[in-house]
Amino acid sequence: MGSVFPEQEWHDGLRYQLATMSYAAGLAHYHRLPAIREPFKTLFARLIKKMMHRDVWGYWYLTSQGSVACNPDLKELRKPWADPVVRENIMVRGWLGGRVGADEGSSSIRDICC
């Protein structure tokens, strides 16, 4: 039930790539091209949609069980859950919340992504 892309829990995971693209686009928009809104509005909406794609967060089902490497006191694996936003994955929740909040604050993207 994990992602089709193996080892998504490392630094080259799709979620980190999308986050870096988002930060770079946000900086370019704010510092270099503040008057040009529409291309960035579309780009941010697409990045948010991609972040919600199963290939990006599908790794979480197996990761949510825990591991002895991360928690040496773990006696048995926990019951897994598929949704990374439900609990314990503050990075995915924080990125999505921050990205949506920043985009809604700078321009209305509701008509594109929601």
CB atoms within 10 A of CB 112: 15
Of the candidates 89, 88, 82, the residue with the CA atom closest to the CA atom of residue 2? 82
The per-residue b/e assignment along 41-78, b for 16 or more CB within 10 angstroms, e otherwise, is bebbbebbebbeeeebbbbbbbbbeeeeeeeeeeeeee
More confident call, 55 vs 8: 55
Distance CA 63, CA 56 (A): 13
pTM over 0.85: no
AA letter at 86: V
pLDDT tens digit sequence for 11-69: 678 888 888 898 898 888 888 988 888 888 889 889 888 988 888 887 778 777 877 77
Domains of the chain, by residue range, sit at: 14-113
